[in-house]
Structure 1
Amino acid sequence: MRPSRAPAEDRPRHIGFLLLPDFPLMSYASAVEPLRAANVLAGAPLYRWSNLSVDGEPARASVGVTVAPDLGLGEAGGLDQLFVCAGGNPAAFDHKPTFARLRAAAAAGVAVGGMSGGSYILARAGLLGGRRCTIHWEHIPALIEEFPDVLLERSLYVFDGDRATCAGGLAAFDMMVDLIGRRHGARLAMAVSEWYLRTQARSGEEDQRIALRDRAQVANPRVLKALALMEERLEAPLSREKLAEAAGVTLRQLERLFARHMRKSVAGHYQDLRLDRARKLLRQTSLPVMEVAVACGFIAGGHFSRAYKARFGRSPKAERTPE
């Protein structure tokens, strides 16, 4: 039995997807398929969608598949909603005409959103200042460094007025099902979920990442407490003594626990976390090397460069030079 159609506008809601080069196919498919299912299950054209590209040429996904555009970006003002779908390194995308067209669409009343790295593009266009949003966890360090006025949440998806952002991947499906439910009722939203064998709904507030104990493959609560503090304090690292105090053990005990569970010293693991963050910033932003160092808790540039080369086999400056 098909769900009854909730009252809605007479015409289908027109949603556009701006597919940037190397866009994530999973995010795109996860957003489009629920719209198709909603139409089928409701027995009416509740939604229609169009693909857009920056230059009018087919957009190439990260897996090599190309998608032909239906509209030019200059026609985006006629949409009801427009999502920017970006992956790879969205911080490298700096196309001012695209930013101007996105601003024009928003000014024309189009609800704009971002999927995966799409929030970075919206921020670059000046459309997320003072707005709550989310982005894929891989791009979080770069986004907060370049756009401190963005109210970032480390969640699956976020609605803030006429802005809708999601972390990408399967979170795009969660966001679209939520949007369908808000517009056409919970019954249709549940039917769409069931259509795709999704038997457990996820709210937007849920964390993007697997729990720390599962990621680290550690169950010891003392170690987990220290690890959580390390991840929170990368720019202003805590001393080993403070970490041990917060974990409720002596420094000697904490070192023994790290040696047993992490196969590293406390300082060694902490430094690796900070260097991993530095690598993301070097690859995803144009921040000067010294600013990257400071943002990752390194005061001396020489120490940062030596530690970076020891871990990754190349200097911070070389990280920005194509191999």
Structure 2
Amino acid sequence: MTPTKPPNPFRVGFLVLPHASLLTVASTLDPLRSANRHLGYEAFQWLVISPGAESVALTCGLDLPGGPDLTAVRGFDMLIVIAGFRVAEVTTAPLLRDIRKAAASVPVIGAIDTGTWILAKAGLLKGARVTVHWEDIEALALEYPDLDVLPDRYVTGERVITAGGAGPAFDMMVDLIRNRFGAQLAHEVASSFITSTIDHATPQRRSQYGGIAVHDKVAAAIRLMEATIATPLATAALAKRVQLSVRRLETLFQSSLGYSPGAFYSELRLQAARRILATGSAPMTDIAIRTGFSSASVLSRAFTRRFGESALAFRRKNGKYAGNGLLRPATARAAPPDQPAASQGPNPAGRKRTIASAPRGSTS
């Protein structure tokens, strides 16, 4: 019997921009490599693109080899943009022009993490259903009201696919493998990484309060809070929705999180305002409306009380530190015996995050 000829390789161009995350890049590429390994042939081929440079600097301080310009993806099956921090800095007019030209030559375009911002800036997402890293959801929806911005882990359509970060990117690529080669290969790929995939429509932040250290009713109340940031509910209304008395809800919040429901709700809204401030230039009045404050002045006062600086000062500073503590041989100090080498300290190259809950500019 003549052996079945393998199908033509599915070719993907990955545009990786400076200040992207190594974990996000690996989560996007490695499922395809694993699929090839299990199949025994190159079912998937990929090209890493870093226009104008032979490599791209990632947030951890390592460089990813790249090279060709975007014309190299003409005739490919898919183009995916992977971005991370400092999107405004890396998104130049020539880059947007080249992305538009490249996108016209491929049937599917995609974005991981803050890559969604870049496709939106290029005018390639008109009216699309998309997602972005959860820290950027409010800001993207505010900046591009024509988009249907969802909190899902990943969103797929015929023309556009988007994922919120490293974990969702892995799931989305496994889904791509499943659609082309079936559930068995998808299972083998996920098993190779000793993991399992999560449904695409699962909210990105589900695991934050997924019942691990909080009561189920508290988790349900938090989901309601996150869904109503712009139109906050009274504590009594929250309690009714989760079928508890106000007193019982307050007791559960205090014992699980150390907050009252009202204080926790306020914290969620202020963190949402903080993310928008760091990732865009929206007026304070718009941010106040988006985060459920009655006016810009009310938001400003609450922001200063909570964070110890004005919203304007925070926006100016913009918190670009991404946590890069890589030691480089030329600059690392010699460590005393039996002690680790000292870190070089904060490297300003990175995303717009200052603390774990602060914004990005925009996983992960």
The answer to whether the superposition gives a TM-score over 0.5 is yes
Tell me which residue corresponds to 2:293: 298
- The aligned runs of 1:153-302 (5 Å cut-off) are 153-198=150-195, 200-211=196-207, 213-214=209-210, 217-219=213-215, 221=217, 223-249=218-244, 251=246, 254-302=249-297
Percent identity over the alignment? Answer: 35
The separation in 2 between residues aligned to 1:202 and 1:259, in whole angstroms, is 30
Q: Which has the higher helix share?
A: 1
The separation in 1 between residues aligned to 2:186 and 2:258, in whole angstroms, is 47
What's the secondary structure of 1:49's corresponding residue?
A: strand
The separation in 2 between residues aligned to 1:256 and 1:44, in whole angstroms, is 58
| Residues 129-173 of structure 1, C-alpha deviations (whole Å, 9 max, x = no match) | 222222222221111111222223322222200222222212222
Match of 1:32 among 29, 34, 40: 29
Structure 1 residue 266 displacement after superposition: 3.4
- Contact map agreement 2:151 2:203 (CA 8 A) in 1: yes
- Contact map agreement 1:13 1:47 (CA 8 A) in 2: yes
The separation in 2 between residues aligned to 1:130 and 1:152, in whole angstroms, is 10
The separation in 1 between residues aligned to 2:35 and 2:209, in whole angstroms, is 38
Corresponding letter in the other structure for 1:196: F
What's the secondary structure of 1:267's corresponding residue?
A: helix
Q: Which segments of 5 or more consecutive residues in structure 1 lack a partner in the other structure?
A: none
The separation in 2 between residues aligned to 1:187 and 1:292, in whole angstroms, is 46
What's the secondary structure of 2:46's corresponding residue?
A: strand
The separation in 2 between residues aligned to 1:48 and 1:142, in whole angstroms, is 34
Matched, 1:82 2:79: yes
Q: Which segments of 5 or more consecutive residues in structure 2 lack a partner in the other structure?
A: 320-364
TM-score (norm 2): 0.77
Corresponding letter in the other structure for 2:66: P
- Contact map agreement 1:177 1:192 (CA 8 A) in 2: yes
Structure 1 residue 257 displacement after superposition: 4.7
Does 1 or 2 have the higher relative contact order (CA < 8 Å, sep 6+)? 2
Match of 1:98 among 76, 91, 95: 95
**Alpha carbons of structure 1 residues 241 and 73: separation in structure 2 relative to 1, 3 Å:** same
- Contact map agreement 1:91 1:120 (CA 8 A) in 2: no
**Alpha carbons of structure 1 residues 204 and 244: separation in structure 2 relative to 1, 3 Å:** closer
| Residues 22-42 of structure 1, C-alpha deviations (whole Å, 9 max, x = no match) | 111111111211222222332
Matched, 1:147 2:144: yes
| Residues 166-185 of structure 1, C-alpha deviations (whole Å, 9 max, x = no match) | 22212222222221232233
How many residue pairs were aligned?
316
Corresponding letter in the other structure for 2:50: S
Match of 2:38 among 37, 41, 47: 41
Tell me which residue corresponds to 2:7: 8
Corresponding letter in the other structure for 2:166: G
**Alpha carbons of structure 1 residues 179 and 6: separation in structure 2 relative to 1, 3 Å:** farther
Structure 1 residue 57 displacement after superposition: 4.2
Corresponding letter in the other structure for 1:306: R
Match of 1:68 among 45, 65, 68: 65
What's the secondary structure of 2:185's corresponding residue?
A: helix
The separation in 2 between residues aligned to 1:24 and 1:216, in whole angstroms, is 27
The separation in 1 between residues aligned to 2:83 and 2:99, in whole angstroms, is 14
The separation in 2 between residues aligned to 1:202 and 1:216, in whole angstroms, is 17
Q: CA RMSD in A?
A: 2.6
Corresponding letter in the other structure for 1:53: S
